[in-house]
Amino acid sequence: MEGLEVTVLLGLTILAGALLAPRIRVALPLVLVVFGLVLGFVPALREVQLPPETVLLLFLPVMLFWESLTTSLRSIRRDFRYILPMSTLLVVASAFAVAGVGVLFGMPWEIALILGAAVAPPDATAVAALGRLLPRRMFMKLKAESLTNDGTALVLYAIAVSLAVGGQVTPLSITWSVLVSYLGGILAGAVIAALAYLLLRRSTNTAVINVTLLLVPFTAFLLAEIVHASGVLAVVVAGLAIAFVSPRITTASSRRQAEAAFPFGVYLLNGALFVLIGLEVQYVVHQISGAAIGRLVLITVAVWAALVVVRYLFQLLSVPFQRITGSVIARAHRPRARVVSTVAGMRGAVSLAIALSVPTEVGGAGRDEIVFVTAGVILLSLLAQGPLLPAIVRWAHLPADTAEIEEYELAERTISGAALAALDDLAVEHGIGQEVLDRVRSEGYQMLEFANAKALAREQALVDAEADALDALLDEPDPYEGAGLDGAGLDAIDTDAGTSGSLRIIATSTAVDIAQRSPLIRHEEHTRLKLALLDRKREVLFGLRRSGAVDDLVVRRIVARLDLEQVRLQGIEEFD
Protein backbone atom coordinates (compact mmCIF):
# COMPACT_ATOMS: atom_id res chain seq x y z
CA MET A 1 0.00 0.00 0.00
CA GLU A 2 1.06 3.57 -0.62
CA GLY A 3 2.11 5.82 2.24
CA LEU A 4 -0.91 8.09 1.89
CA GLU A 5 -3.31 5.15 1.97
CA VAL A 6 -1.64 3.79 5.10
CA THR A 7 -1.82 7.20 6.76
CA VAL A 8 -5.54 7.56 6.02
CA LEU A 9 -6.21 3.98 7.18
CA LEU A 10 -4.37 4.52 10.46
CA GLY A 11 -6.21 7.79 11.02
CA LEU A 12 -9.60 6.21 10.40
CA THR A 13 -8.74 3.28 12.70
CA ILE A 14 -7.71 5.63 15.51
CA LEU A 15 -10.90 7.65 15.00
CA ALA A 16 -13.04 4.49 15.12
CA GLY A 17 -11.24 3.35 18.27
CA ALA A 18 -11.69 6.74 19.92
CA LEU A 19 -15.42 6.57 19.22
CA LEU A 20 -15.88 2.95 20.27
CA ALA A 21 -13.66 2.69 23.38
CA PRO A 22 -15.80 4.95 25.65
CA ARG A 23 -18.98 3.17 24.56
CA ILE A 24 -17.75 -0.30 25.48
CA ARG A 25 -15.69 1.00 28.45
CA VAL A 26 -12.43 -0.52 27.28
CA ALA A 27 -9.08 1.30 27.22
CA LEU A 28 -8.29 2.76 23.80
CA PRO A 29 -4.93 0.94 23.35
CA LEU A 30 -6.67 -2.42 23.75
CA VAL A 31 -9.29 -1.53 21.16
CA LEU A 32 -6.63 -0.36 18.70
CA VAL A 33 -4.57 -3.56 19.09
CA VAL A 34 -7.68 -5.62 18.34
CA PHE A 35 -8.42 -3.43 15.31
CA GLY A 36 -4.86 -4.05 14.12
CA LEU A 37 -5.34 -7.81 14.47
CA VAL A 38 -8.59 -7.65 12.50
CA LEU A 39 -7.05 -5.51 9.75
CA GLY A 40 -4.21 -8.03 9.54
CA PHE A 41 -6.55 -10.58 7.98
CA VAL A 42 -6.42 -8.47 4.79
CA PRO A 43 -3.29 -9.63 2.90
CA ALA A 44 -2.46 -6.17 1.52
CA LEU A 45 -2.65 -4.63 4.98
CA ARG A 46 -0.49 -7.37 6.47
CA GLU A 47 2.36 -6.21 4.28
CA VAL A 48 2.41 -2.84 6.04
CA GLN A 49 5.68 -3.28 7.89
CA LEU A 50 6.95 -1.37 10.89
CA PRO A 51 10.67 -0.67 10.32
CA PRO A 52 12.63 -0.61 13.58
CA GLU A 53 14.16 2.78 12.79
CA THR A 54 10.62 4.18 12.56
CA VAL A 55 9.90 3.21 16.16
CA LEU A 56 13.32 4.20 17.46
CA LEU A 57 13.70 7.48 15.59
CA LEU A 58 10.14 8.75 15.08
CA PHE A 59 7.81 7.25 17.67
CA LEU A 60 9.95 6.82 20.77
CA PRO A 61 11.73 10.20 21.03
CA VAL A 62 8.52 12.24 20.97
CA MET A 63 6.56 9.90 23.24
CA LEU A 64 9.37 9.52 25.78
CA PHE A 65 10.06 13.27 25.73
CA TRP A 66 6.44 14.05 26.55
CA GLU A 67 6.35 11.43 29.31
CA SER A 68 9.54 12.96 30.74
CA LEU A 69 8.05 16.45 30.65
CA THR A 70 5.10 15.19 32.70
CA THR A 71 7.14 13.22 35.24
CA SER A 72 7.85 14.46 38.74
CA LEU A 73 11.51 15.03 39.56
CA ARG A 74 10.68 15.07 43.25
CA SER A 75 9.06 11.65 42.93
CA ILE A 76 12.19 10.28 41.26
CA ARG A 77 14.42 11.62 44.03
CA ARG A 78 12.08 10.38 46.75
CA ASP A 79 11.71 6.87 45.35
CA PHE A 80 15.18 6.49 43.86
CA ARG A 81 15.95 3.49 46.09
CA TYR A 82 12.99 1.72 44.48
CA ILE A 83 13.51 2.94 40.91
CA LEU A 84 17.23 2.11 40.59
CA PRO A 85 17.07 -1.66 41.27
CA MET A 86 13.79 -2.00 39.35
CA SER A 87 15.30 -0.38 36.25
CA THR A 88 18.60 -2.31 36.38
CA LEU A 89 18.67 -5.51 38.44
CA LEU A 90 15.07 -6.46 37.64
CA VAL A 91 15.69 -6.04 33.89
CA VAL A 92 18.74 -8.31 34.10
CA ALA A 93 16.85 -10.89 36.19
CA SER A 94 13.88 -10.82 33.80
CA ALA A 95 16.11 -11.20 30.73
CA PHE A 96 17.93 -14.24 32.12
CA ALA A 97 14.69 -15.82 33.35
CA VAL A 98 13.21 -15.47 29.86
CA ALA A 99 16.42 -16.85 28.35
CA GLY A 100 16.10 -19.86 30.63
CA VAL A 101 12.52 -20.43 29.48
CA GLY A 102 13.62 -20.17 25.86
CA VAL A 103 16.40 -22.73 26.34
CA LEU A 104 13.95 -25.14 27.98
CA PHE A 105 11.83 -24.97 24.80
CA GLY A 106 14.80 -25.65 22.55
CA MET A 107 15.93 -22.16 21.58
CA PRO A 108 19.69 -21.54 21.26
CA TRP A 109 21.11 -19.71 24.27
CA GLU A 110 22.14 -16.61 22.30
CA ILE A 111 18.72 -16.30 20.63
CA ALA A 112 16.96 -16.81 23.97
CA LEU A 113 19.09 -14.05 25.57
CA ILE A 114 18.21 -11.63 22.75
CA LEU A 115 14.55 -12.47 23.37
CA GLY A 116 15.03 -11.83 27.09
CA ALA A 117 16.60 -8.42 26.45
CA ALA A 118 13.70 -7.50 24.15
CA VAL A 119 10.86 -8.31 26.55
CA ALA A 120 12.55 -7.46 29.87
CA PRO A 121 11.71 -3.71 30.16
CA PRO A 122 8.16 -2.52 30.88
CA ASP A 123 7.27 0.29 28.48
CA ALA A 124 6.65 3.90 29.53
CA THR A 125 4.02 4.55 26.86
CA ALA A 126 2.04 1.43 27.78
CA VAL A 127 2.21 2.33 31.48
CA ALA A 128 1.10 5.90 30.71
CA ALA A 129 -1.77 4.71 28.53
CA LEU A 130 -3.15 2.07 30.90
CA GLY A 131 -1.87 2.97 34.36
CA ARG A 132 -3.48 6.33 35.13
CA LEU A 133 -6.08 4.79 37.41
CA LEU A 134 -3.30 3.92 39.88
CA PRO A 135 -2.57 6.06 42.94
CA ARG A 136 -0.40 9.00 41.95
CA ARG A 137 2.79 7.92 43.74
CA MET A 138 2.63 4.35 42.40
CA PHE A 139 1.96 5.64 38.89
CA MET A 140 4.98 7.96 39.07
CA LYS A 141 7.23 5.15 40.35
CA LEU A 142 6.18 2.87 37.49
CA LYS A 143 6.57 5.66 34.98
CA ALA A 144 10.06 6.59 36.19
CA GLU A 145 11.09 2.92 36.17
CA SER A 146 9.81 2.49 32.61
CA LEU A 147 11.62 5.62 31.43
CA THR A 148 15.00 4.49 32.74
CA ASN A 149 15.06 0.71 32.27
CA ASP A 150 15.51 0.75 28.49
CA GLY A 151 19.23 1.56 28.80
CA THR A 152 19.81 -1.70 30.68
CA ALA A 153 17.79 -3.67 28.13
CA LEU A 154 19.69 -2.19 25.17
CA VAL A 155 23.05 -3.03 26.76
CA LEU A 156 21.91 -6.62 27.28
CA TYR A 157 20.65 -6.70 23.69
CA ALA A 158 24.02 -5.54 22.32
CA ILE A 159 25.85 -8.19 24.36
CA ALA A 160 23.45 -10.93 23.25
CA VAL A 161 23.73 -9.97 19.56
CA SER A 162 27.51 -9.92 19.84
CA LEU A 163 27.44 -13.46 21.26
CA ALA A 164 25.02 -14.61 18.56
CA VAL A 165 27.24 -13.42 15.69
CA GLY A 166 30.40 -14.88 17.23
CA GLY A 167 31.85 -11.78 18.86
CA GLN A 168 34.08 -11.78 21.91
CA VAL A 169 32.46 -10.63 25.15
CA THR A 170 34.53 -10.12 28.29
CA PRO A 171 33.71 -8.69 31.72
CA LEU A 172 35.69 -5.59 30.76
CA SER A 173 33.72 -5.07 27.55
CA ILE A 174 30.44 -5.52 29.42
CA THR A 175 31.46 -2.97 32.04
CA TRP A 176 32.54 -0.54 29.33
CA SER A 177 29.23 -0.98 27.46
CA VAL A 178 27.22 -0.28 30.61
CA LEU A 179 29.26 2.84 31.43
CA VAL A 180 29.05 4.21 27.89
CA SER A 181 25.33 3.49 27.65
CA TYR A 182 24.38 5.14 30.93
CA LEU A 183 26.95 7.89 31.34
CA GLY A 184 26.96 8.70 27.63
CA GLY A 185 23.17 8.86 27.51
CA ILE A 186 23.00 11.10 30.59
CA LEU A 187 25.73 13.38 29.22
CA ALA A 188 24.14 13.60 25.77
CA GLY A 189 20.77 14.52 27.26
CA ALA A 190 22.35 17.13 29.55
CA VAL A 191 24.32 18.73 26.67
CA ILE A 192 21.26 19.04 24.44
CA ALA A 193 19.18 20.40 27.33
CA ALA A 194 21.89 23.02 28.04
CA LEU A 195 22.02 24.09 24.40
CA ALA A 196 18.21 24.32 24.29
CA TYR A 197 18.28 26.42 27.47
CA LEU A 198 20.75 28.89 25.95
CA LEU A 199 18.62 29.22 22.82
CA LEU A 200 15.23 29.41 24.54
CA ARG A 201 16.23 32.07 27.05
CA ARG A 202 17.05 34.41 24.14
CA SER A 203 13.75 33.97 22.28
CA THR A 204 10.20 35.08 22.95
CA ASN A 205 8.68 33.93 19.66
CA THR A 206 6.21 31.09 20.03
CA ALA A 207 7.22 29.33 16.81
CA VAL A 208 10.95 29.45 17.61
CA ILE A 209 10.40 28.15 21.15
CA ASN A 210 8.22 25.21 20.18
CA VAL A 211 10.32 24.19 17.15
CA THR A 212 13.31 24.14 19.51
CA LEU A 213 11.43 21.97 21.98
CA LEU A 214 10.40 19.59 19.19
CA LEU A 215 14.01 19.19 18.09
CA VAL A 216 15.28 18.43 21.60
CA PRO A 217 14.29 14.72 21.74
CA PHE A 218 15.52 13.96 18.22
CA THR A 219 18.87 15.71 18.65
CA ALA A 220 19.39 14.12 22.07
CA PHE A 221 18.68 10.68 20.60
CA LEU A 222 20.97 11.38 17.63
CA LEU A 223 23.87 12.58 19.77
CA ALA A 224 23.60 9.51 22.01
CA GLU A 225 23.57 7.19 18.99
CA ILE A 226 26.69 8.88 17.60
CA VAL A 227 28.63 8.09 20.80
CA HIS A 228 27.02 4.61 21.01
CA ALA A 229 25.14 5.52 24.20
CA SER A 230 21.50 5.06 25.19
CA GLY A 231 19.33 7.34 23.06
CA VAL A 232 16.33 6.56 25.23
CA LEU A 233 18.13 7.69 28.38
CA ALA A 234 19.36 10.84 26.60
CA VAL A 235 15.79 11.79 25.68
CA VAL A 236 14.59 11.17 29.24
CA VAL A 237 17.37 13.27 30.81
CA ALA A 238 16.78 16.10 28.34
CA GLY A 239 13.05 15.99 28.99
CA LEU A 240 13.42 16.09 32.78
CA ALA A 241 15.85 19.03 32.56
CA ILE A 242 13.65 20.99 30.15
CA ALA A 243 10.58 20.33 32.31
CA PHE A 244 12.32 21.90 35.31
CA VAL A 245 13.51 25.10 33.58
CA SER A 246 10.74 25.50 31.00
CA PRO A 247 8.48 27.88 33.00
CA ARG A 248 11.37 30.36 33.32
CA ILE A 249 12.64 30.32 29.73
CA THR A 250 9.43 30.01 27.70
CA THR A 251 6.43 32.29 27.29
CA ALA A 252 2.84 31.74 28.38
CA SER A 253 1.56 31.54 24.81
CA SER A 254 4.29 29.07 23.74
CA ARG A 255 3.53 26.86 26.72
CA ARG A 256 -0.18 26.89 25.94
CA GLN A 257 0.54 25.94 22.35
CA ALA A 258 2.90 23.14 23.40
CA GLU A 259 0.41 21.85 25.97
CA ALA A 260 -2.11 21.44 23.14
CA ALA A 261 0.20 20.19 20.38
CA PHE A 262 2.40 17.66 22.21
CA PRO A 263 -0.41 15.59 23.81
CA PHE A 264 -2.30 15.46 20.51
CA GLY A 265 0.79 14.38 18.58
CA VAL A 266 1.63 11.74 21.18
CA TYR A 267 -2.00 10.57 21.10
CA LEU A 268 -1.78 9.98 17.33
CA LEU A 269 1.64 8.31 17.47
CA ASN A 270 0.58 6.09 20.36
CA GLY A 271 -2.62 5.10 18.59
CA ALA A 272 -0.83 4.32 15.33
CA LEU A 273 1.75 2.26 17.20
CA PHE A 274 -0.86 0.04 18.85
CA VAL A 275 -2.60 -0.55 15.51
CA LEU A 276 0.73 -1.43 13.90
CA ILE A 277 1.51 -3.87 16.73
CA GLY A 278 -1.66 -5.79 15.83
CA LEU A 279 -0.67 -5.79 12.15
CA GLU A 280 2.84 -6.96 13.01
CA VAL A 281 1.48 -9.92 14.98
CA GLN A 282 -0.58 -11.00 11.97
CA TYR A 283 2.40 -10.59 9.63
CA VAL A 284 4.69 -12.73 11.78
CA VAL A 285 2.02 -15.43 12.22
CA HIS A 286 1.70 -15.76 8.45
CA GLN A 287 5.48 -15.89 7.99
CA ILE A 288 5.96 -18.87 10.29
CA SER A 289 5.01 -22.42 9.41
CA GLY A 290 1.89 -23.85 10.99
CA ALA A 291 3.88 -26.62 12.70
CA ALA A 292 6.05 -24.09 14.56
CA ILE A 293 3.23 -21.80 15.66
CA GLY A 294 2.01 -24.13 18.42
CA ARG A 295 5.48 -24.33 19.96
CA LEU A 296 5.97 -20.55 19.73
CA VAL A 297 2.60 -19.91 21.33
CA LEU A 298 3.64 -22.08 24.29
CA ILE A 299 6.93 -20.18 24.53
CA THR A 300 5.04 -16.87 24.41
CA VAL A 301 2.71 -17.83 27.25
CA ALA A 302 5.60 -19.25 29.32
CA VAL A 303 7.71 -16.10 28.78
CA TRP A 304 4.83 -13.81 29.71
CA ALA A 305 4.15 -15.83 32.88
CA ALA A 306 7.85 -15.80 33.76
CA LEU A 307 7.99 -12.01 33.45
CA VAL A 308 5.01 -11.61 35.78
CA VAL A 309 6.39 -14.04 38.37
CA VAL A 310 9.90 -12.58 38.32
CA ARG A 311 8.59 -9.05 38.74
CA TYR A 312 6.52 -10.04 41.78
CA LEU A 313 9.30 -12.10 43.37
CA PHE A 314 11.87 -9.35 42.83
CA GLN A 315 9.68 -6.84 44.66
CA LEU A 316 9.07 -9.34 47.45
CA LEU A 317 12.75 -10.17 47.89
CA SER A 318 13.84 -6.52 47.80
CA VAL A 319 11.60 -5.52 50.74
CA PRO A 320 14.38 -5.93 53.37
CA PHE A 321 16.57 -3.48 51.44
CA GLN A 322 13.93 -0.75 51.11
CA ARG A 323 13.36 2.05 53.57
CA ILE A 324 10.04 1.52 55.33
CA THR A 325 8.03 4.73 55.39
CA GLY A 326 4.38 5.73 55.54
CA SER A 327 1.53 5.14 57.89
CA VAL A 328 0.55 1.83 59.42
CA ILE A 329 -2.39 1.59 57.02
CA ALA A 330 -0.13 2.18 54.00
CA ARG A 331 2.30 -0.49 55.20
CA ALA A 332 -0.54 -2.97 55.63
CA HIS A 333 -1.50 -2.48 51.97
CA ARG A 334 2.00 -3.04 50.59
CA PRO A 335 1.54 -6.77 49.77
CA ARG A 336 -1.45 -5.86 47.64
CA ALA A 337 0.41 -2.89 46.19
CA ARG A 338 3.08 -5.30 44.93
CA VAL A 339 0.40 -7.26 43.09
CA VAL A 340 -0.89 -4.05 41.49
CA SER A 341 2.64 -3.03 40.47
CA THR A 342 3.22 -6.48 38.98
CA VAL A 343 0.10 -6.36 36.82
CA ALA A 344 0.84 -2.77 35.77
CA GLY A 345 4.25 -3.68 34.29
CA MET A 346 3.24 -3.96 30.62
CA ARG A 347 5.40 -4.29 27.51
CA GLY A 348 5.13 -2.11 24.41
CA ALA A 349 7.03 -0.09 21.82
CA VAL A 350 10.60 -0.55 23.08
CA SER A 351 10.30 -4.34 23.15
CA LEU A 352 8.95 -4.42 19.60
CA ALA A 353 11.68 -2.05 18.37
CA ILE A 354 14.41 -4.24 19.90
CA ALA A 355 12.94 -7.39 18.37
CA LEU A 356 12.67 -5.82 14.91
CA SER A 357 16.25 -4.53 15.17
CA VAL A 358 17.71 -8.05 15.34
CA PRO A 359 20.16 -8.31 12.40
CA THR A 360 19.75 -10.96 9.72
CA GLU A 361 23.18 -12.36 10.64
CA VAL A 362 21.57 -13.88 13.72
CA GLY A 363 19.61 -16.24 11.49
CA GLY A 364 16.29 -15.91 9.72
CA ALA A 365 14.45 -18.52 11.77
CA GLY A 366 15.81 -17.22 15.06
CA ARG A 367 14.87 -13.64 14.20
CA ASP A 368 11.30 -14.67 13.26
CA GLU A 369 10.95 -16.53 16.55
CA ILE A 370 12.14 -13.48 18.52
CA VAL A 371 9.71 -11.17 16.72
CA PHE A 372 6.81 -13.62 17.11
CA VAL A 373 7.32 -14.19 20.85
CA THR A 374 7.97 -10.51 21.55
CA ALA A 375 4.84 -9.43 19.68
CA GLY A 376 2.88 -12.13 21.49
CA VAL A 377 4.13 -11.00 24.91
CA ILE A 378 3.16 -7.39 24.09
CA LEU A 379 -0.25 -8.61 22.98
CA LEU A 380 -0.76 -10.68 26.14
CA SER A 381 0.34 -7.84 28.42
CA LEU A 382 -2.07 -5.42 26.74
CA LEU A 383 -5.04 -7.76 26.36
CA ALA A 384 -4.64 -9.70 29.63
CA GLN A 385 -2.99 -7.34 32.11
CA GLY A 386 -4.72 -4.23 30.73
CA PRO A 387 -8.34 -5.34 31.36
CA LEU A 388 -7.30 -7.05 34.61
CA LEU A 389 -5.64 -3.95 36.08
CA PRO A 390 -8.85 -2.05 37.08
CA ALA A 391 -10.17 -5.11 38.93
CA ILE A 392 -6.84 -5.62 40.71
CA VAL A 393 -6.77 -1.96 41.77
CA ARG A 394 -10.30 -2.25 43.21
CA TRP A 395 -9.34 -5.47 45.00
CA ALA A 396 -6.25 -3.87 46.52
CA HIS A 397 -8.25 -1.09 48.27
CA LEU A 398 -5.16 1.10 48.28
CA PRO A 399 -5.35 4.17 50.53
CA ALA A 400 -6.56 7.32 48.83
CA ASP A 401 -3.66 9.47 47.67
CA THR A 402 -4.70 13.06 48.39
CA ALA A 403 -1.19 14.53 48.58
CA GLU A 404 -1.44 16.20 45.19
CA ILE A 405 -4.78 17.82 46.00
CA GLU A 406 -3.51 19.08 49.35
CA GLU A 407 -0.35 20.48 47.80
CA TYR A 408 -2.34 22.15 45.05
CA GLU A 409 -4.58 23.87 47.59
CA LEU A 410 -1.56 24.89 49.69
CA ALA A 411 0.18 26.37 46.67
CA GLU A 412 -2.92 28.24 45.49
CA ARG A 413 -3.50 29.84 48.88
CA THR A 414 0.17 30.65 49.36
CA ILE A 415 0.69 32.37 46.01
CA SER A 416 -2.62 34.24 46.31
CA GLY A 417 -1.73 35.50 49.79
CA ALA A 418 1.76 36.51 48.69
CA ALA A 419 0.39 38.39 45.69
CA LEU A 420 -2.07 40.31 47.87
CA ALA A 421 0.68 41.17 50.35
CA ALA A 422 2.76 42.65 47.53
CA LEU A 423 -0.15 44.42 45.85
CA ASP A 424 0.47 47.92 47.23
CA ASP A 425 4.16 47.83 46.41
CA LEU A 426 3.46 46.60 42.89
CA ALA A 427 0.85 49.33 42.39
CA VAL A 428 3.38 52.01 43.37
CA GLU A 429 6.08 50.43 41.19
CA HIS A 430 3.86 50.36 38.11
CA GLY A 431 2.02 53.64 38.72
CA ILE A 432 -1.46 52.17 39.25
CA GLY A 433 -4.44 54.35 40.21
CA GLN A 434 -6.48 53.74 43.36
CA GLU A 435 -9.59 52.60 41.51
CA VAL A 436 -7.75 49.87 39.65
CA LEU A 437 -5.85 48.92 42.81
CA ASP A 438 -9.07 48.45 44.78
CA ARG A 439 -10.62 46.45 41.97
CA VAL A 440 -7.68 44.06 41.73
CA ARG A 441 -7.52 43.76 45.53
CA SER A 442 -11.20 42.80 45.59
CA GLU A 443 -10.66 40.16 42.91
CA GLY A 444 -7.66 38.80 44.82
CA TYR A 445 -9.55 38.46 48.08
CA GLN A 446 -12.41 36.72 46.30
CA MET A 447 -10.02 34.17 44.80
CA LEU A 448 -8.27 33.60 48.12
CA GLU A 449 -11.52 33.11 49.99
CA PHE A 450 -12.73 30.75 47.29
CA ALA A 451 -9.53 28.67 47.65
CA ASN A 452 -10.00 28.59 51.44
CA ALA A 453 -13.64 27.54 51.06
CA LYS A 454 -12.72 24.71 48.66
CA ALA A 455 -10.07 23.39 51.03
CA LEU A 456 -12.48 23.55 53.98
CA ALA A 457 -15.21 21.81 52.01
CA ARG A 458 -12.87 19.03 50.92
CA GLU A 459 -11.61 18.46 54.45
CA GLN A 460 -15.15 18.38 55.79
CA ALA A 461 -16.13 15.91 53.06
CA LEU A 462 -13.25 13.63 54.10
CA VAL A 463 -14.34 13.83 57.74
CA ASP A 464 -17.92 13.01 56.78
CA ALA A 465 -16.78 10.10 54.61
CA GLU A 466 -14.69 8.66 57.43
CA ALA A 467 -17.60 9.06 59.82
CA ASP A 468 -19.94 7.29 57.38
CA ALA A 469 -17.45 4.46 56.94
CA LEU A 470 -17.10 4.09 60.72
CA ASP A 471 -20.89 4.08 61.13
CA ALA A 472 -21.23 1.39 58.50
CA LEU A 473 -18.51 -0.65 60.20
CA LEU A 474 -20.10 -0.39 63.63
CA ASP A 475 -23.62 -0.66 62.22
CA GLU A 476 -24.74 2.20 64.41
CA PRO A 477 -26.91 5.19 63.52
CA ASP A 478 -25.22 8.56 63.15
CA PRO A 479 -25.81 10.47 66.44
CA TYR A 480 -25.24 13.76 64.66
CA GLU A 481 -27.67 13.17 61.81
CA GLY A 482 -30.07 16.07 61.53
CA ALA A 483 -27.92 18.31 63.73
CA GLY A 484 -26.80 20.51 60.89
CA LEU A 485 -23.61 18.63 59.93
CA ASP A 486 -24.97 16.75 56.92
CA GLY A 487 -24.75 17.73 53.22
CA ALA A 488 -26.80 20.85 53.84
CA GLY A 489 -24.30 21.97 56.43
CA LEU A 490 -21.50 21.44 53.93
CA ASP A 491 -23.34 23.56 51.41
CA ALA A 492 -23.63 26.22 54.06
CA ILE A 493 -19.88 26.13 54.55
CA ASP A 494 -19.37 26.60 50.83
CA THR A 495 -21.85 29.43 50.70
CA ASP A 496 -20.75 31.27 53.80
CA ALA A 497 -17.01 30.77 53.55
CA GLY A 498 -16.66 33.79 51.31
CA THR A 499 -18.36 36.13 53.80
CA SER A 500 -17.92 34.73 57.30
CA GLY A 501 -14.20 33.96 57.20
CA SER A 502 -11.47 36.12 58.61
CA LEU A 503 -10.83 37.66 55.18
CA ARG A 504 -13.24 40.34 53.93
CA ILE A 505 -13.81 41.63 50.44
CA ILE A 506 -12.66 45.21 50.29
CA ALA A 507 -15.19 47.53 48.72
CA THR A 508 -14.30 49.24 45.45
CA SER A 509 -13.14 52.80 45.97
CA THR A 510 -15.57 55.56 44.90
CA ALA A 511 -13.06 58.38 45.41
CA VAL A 512 -11.76 58.25 41.85
CA ASP A 513 -13.33 60.68 39.41
CA ILE A 514 -14.12 58.39 36.54
CA ALA A 515 -14.76 61.31 34.23
CA GLN A 516 -11.12 62.35 34.58
CA ARG A 517 -9.70 58.93 33.74
CA SER A 518 -9.99 57.33 30.34
CA PRO A 519 -11.35 53.75 30.25
CA LEU A 520 -8.34 52.88 28.09
CA ILE A 521 -5.98 54.09 30.82
CA ARG A 522 -7.84 52.13 33.47
CA HIS A 523 -7.80 49.00 31.30
CA GLU A 524 -4.07 49.37 30.62
CA GLU A 525 -3.34 49.85 34.33
CA HIS A 526 -5.49 46.86 35.23
CA THR A 527 -3.68 44.65 32.71
CA ARG A 528 -0.26 45.84 33.87
CA LEU A 529 -1.03 45.20 37.53
CA LYS A 530 -2.54 41.79 36.88
CA LEU A 531 0.54 40.75 34.89
CA ALA A 532 2.78 41.91 37.74
CA LEU A 533 0.71 39.83 40.15
CA LEU A 534 1.05 36.79 37.89
CA ASP A 535 4.83 37.22 37.87
CA ARG A 536 4.81 37.47 41.65
CA LYS A 537 2.71 34.30 41.95
CA ARG A 538 5.10 32.40 39.69
CA GLU A 539 8.10 33.46 41.75
CA VAL A 540 6.46 32.30 44.98
CA LEU A 541 5.36 29.06 43.28
CA PHE A 542 8.90 28.29 42.10
CA GLY A 543 10.11 28.97 45.63
CA LEU A 544 7.66 26.37 46.94
CA ARG A 545 9.01 23.89 44.40
CA ARG A 546 12.63 24.56 45.39
CA SER A 547 11.78 24.00 49.03
CA GLY A 548 10.04 20.71 48.23
CA ALA A 549 6.69 21.89 49.59
CA VAL A 550 4.88 21.16 46.32
CA ASP A 551 5.45 18.64 43.55
CA ASP A 552 6.58 19.42 40.00
CA LEU A 553 3.24 18.27 38.61
CA VAL A 554 1.38 20.62 40.95
CA VAL A 555 3.59 23.46 39.75
CA ARG A 556 2.83 22.45 36.16
CA ARG A 557 -0.93 22.57 36.77
CA ILE A 558 -0.83 25.98 38.43
CA VAL A 559 1.54 27.44 35.84
CA ALA A 560 -0.91 26.28 33.15
CA ARG A 561 -3.74 28.16 34.88
CA LEU A 562 -1.62 31.29 35.29
CA ASP A 563 -0.63 31.05 31.63
CA LEU A 564 -4.27 30.94 30.59
CA GLU A 565 -4.93 34.09 32.59
CA GLN A 566 -1.92 35.81 31.06
CA VAL A 567 -2.96 34.83 27.52
CA ARG A 568 -6.44 36.19 28.24
CA LEU A 569 -4.93 39.51 29.34
CA GLN A 570 -2.35 39.83 26.58
CA GLY A 571 -3.90 37.90 23.72
CA ILE A 572 -2.29 35.18 21.62
CA GLU A 573 1.19 36.10 20.48
CA GLU A 574 1.45 36.51 16.72
CA PHE A 575 4.09 34.64 14.75
CA ASP A 576 6.89 36.67 13.19
Could you give the number of structural domains in the chain? 2
Number of H helices, E strands in the chain: 28, 0
Does residue 513 lie in a domain region?
A: yes
Does residue 20 lie in a domain region?
A: yes
Q: How confident is the prediction along the chain (576 residues), in pLDDT tens digits per residue?
A: 567 888 899 999 999 999 998 898 887 888 898 899 899 888 888 777 767 667 777 788 888 898 888 888 888 888 888 888 988 899 999 999 999 999 999 898 889 999 999 999 988 777 776 666 777 888 888 888 888 887 788 888 888 888 887 777 778 888 888 888 889 999 999 999 999 999 998 888 888 999 999 999 999 999 998 988 888 889 999 999 999 998 888 998 899 889 888 989 988 988 888 888 888 888 888 877 777 888 899 999 999 999 999 999 998 887 665 655 554 444 556 788 889 889 888 888 778 888 888 877 776 678 888 988 998 898 898 888 888 888 888 888 887 777 888 888 888 888 888 888 888 888 888 888 787 788 888 877 777 777 777 778 777 777 777 777 666 666 655 544 544 434 443 343 343 433 333 433 334 444 444 444 556 677 778 788 888 889 999 999 999 998 888 888 899 999 999 999 898 888 765 444
Examine the domain organization and report whether 365 and 346 are in the same domain.
yes
Does residue 19 lie in a domain region?
A: yes
Which is nearest to 98 in space by CA: 110, 108, 113, 88?
Answer: 113
Q: What does the alpha-carbon distance between residue 3 and residue 283 come to, in Å, rounded to a whole number? A: 18
Task: Please say whether the beta carbons of 384 and 34 come within 8 A.
Answer: no
Instruction: Examine the fold and report which residue of 340, 373, 396 is the final residue of a domain before the chain moves on.
Output: 396
Examine the domain organization and report whether 438 and 454 are in the same domain.
yes
Does residue 78 lie in a domain region?
A: yes
Instruction: Examine the fold and report which residue of 375, 396, 417 is the final residue of a domain before the chain moves on.
Output: 396
Q: What does the alpha-carbon distance between residue 339 and residue 138 come to, in Å, rounded to a whole number? A: 12
Does residue 575 lie in a domain region?
A: no
Domain extent, residue 547, equals 403-570
Instruction: Examine the fold and report which residue of 331, 362, 396 is the final residue of a domain before the chain moves on.
Output: 396
Q: What does the alpha-carbon distance between residue 44 and residue 212 come to, in Å, rounded to a whole number? A: 39
Q: What Cα–Cα distance (Å) separates residue 273 from each residue in 8, 56, 176, 266, 467?
A: 14, 12, 33, 10, 47
For residue 12, the tally of other CB atoms under 10 A from its CB is 11
List CB contacts of 92: < 8 A, sequence separation 6 or more: 120, 152, 156
Examine the domain organization and report whether 153 and 173 are in the same domain.
yes
